[in-house]
Amino acid sequence: MNPVLFPVIAAQALWVRARAEYLPPPAGAVTGSAGAEHRSPLRVAVVGESTAAGYGVETHDDGFPGAFARELAARTDSFVEWEAVGQYGATARRIRHRVVPELGDGLHVAVLLAGVNDVLARRSPTDWRDDLTAIVDDLCKRAERVAVTGIPPFSTFPSLPNTLARHLTRRAGVLDEVSRRICAERPHATWVRSDDIPVGPGFFARDGFHPAAPGYRRWARAVADQLPL
| The predicted structure's pLDDT at residue 23 | 87
Higher pLDDT pick, 223 / 23: 223
In this structure, is residue 156 part of a structural domain? yes
In this structure, is residue 155 part of a structural domain? yes
| The predicted structure's pLDDT at residue 200 | 84
pTM summary value: 0.93
| The predicted structure's pLDDT at residue 36 | 83
Domain count, the chain: 1
In this structure, is residue 6 part of a structural domain? no
Domain extent at residue 194: 22-226
What are 13-66's pLDDT values in tens digits?
A: 576 676 767 888 899 899 999 998 877 799 999 999 999 999 999 999 999 999
CATH number for 177: 3.40.50.1110
In this structure, is residue 128 part of a structural domain? yes
What are 109-162's pLDDT values in tens digits?
A: 999 999 999 999 999 999 999 999 999 999 999 999 999 999 998 999 999 988
In this structure, is residue 13 part of a structural domain? no
Question: What does the H/E/C string look like for the chain?
Answer: CCHHHHHHHHHHHHHHHHHCCCCCCCECCCEEEECCCCCCCEEEEEEECCCCCCCCCCEHHHCHHHHHHHHHHHHHCCCEEEEEEECCCCCHHHHHHHHHHHCCCCEEEEEEECCHHHHHCCCCHHHHHHHHHHHHHHHHHHEEEEEEECCCCHHHCCCCCHHHHHHHHHHHHHHHHHHHHHHHCCCCEEEECCCCCCCCCCCECCCCCCECHHHHHHHHHHHHHHCCC
In this structure, is residue 108 part of a structural domain? yes
What are 59-93's pLDDT values in tens digits?
A: 999 999 999 999 999 999 999 999 999 999 999 99
